[in-house]
Every structure is written in C-alpha cells, then in structure tokens.
Amino acid sequence: MPKEIADLKSPPHKIISFLKKGRDQLRVKYREQREKLRVAENQIRAVTKSREAWRDRAEAAEAELKLSKKSPD
C-alpha cells in the first residue's frame, strides 16, 4: 500500500469507493453536457439552414418583383 494511503485515517476501501463514486459522477455529468452540446450544435445547424432558405426565398421574390416592375406587360 502506498505511503499516502497508509497515512490517511479512513480505511482504504472507503477512500477508494469515494473516489470511484466521484469519478462516476463526473463521467455522467460530462456525458450529459456533451449530449446537450450535440443537441445545441444540431439546433444551430438547423436554424442556420432555415435562415439561408428563407433568405434565398426573399432574394428570389425581390428579384422577381424588380423584374415585374421593369417590364410593363
């Protein structure tokens, strides 16, 4: 047993279980954060795509309007 563990007052099995529990909690926490980040990135991608589509539609409508104003039928 390493000297650092031997110097502690708590029994090693309690220290080890405490550290494992903390490690597992961090893994769960960061896994959830990664999932939230992935969802946010997908949302951003979808919103950006939607905005570009609406912008293209608006520009096409403006161009059509300009053409209809220039050529009197």
- Return per-residue pLDDT of the chain as tens, 73 residues: 667 766 778 888 898 999 999 999 999 999 999 999 999 999 999 999 999 999 999 999 999 999 888 766 5
Q: Which domain holds residue 15?
A: 3-70
What's the pLDDT at 73? 55
Q: Number of structural domains, the chain? A: 1
* Cα–Cα dist 67/73, whole Å: 11
Dihedral sign computed on CA atoms, order 23, 28, 29, 30: positive
Give the angle 39-44-47 at the CA atoms, nearest 5°: 125
pTM greater than 0.85: no
What's the pLDDT at 37? 98
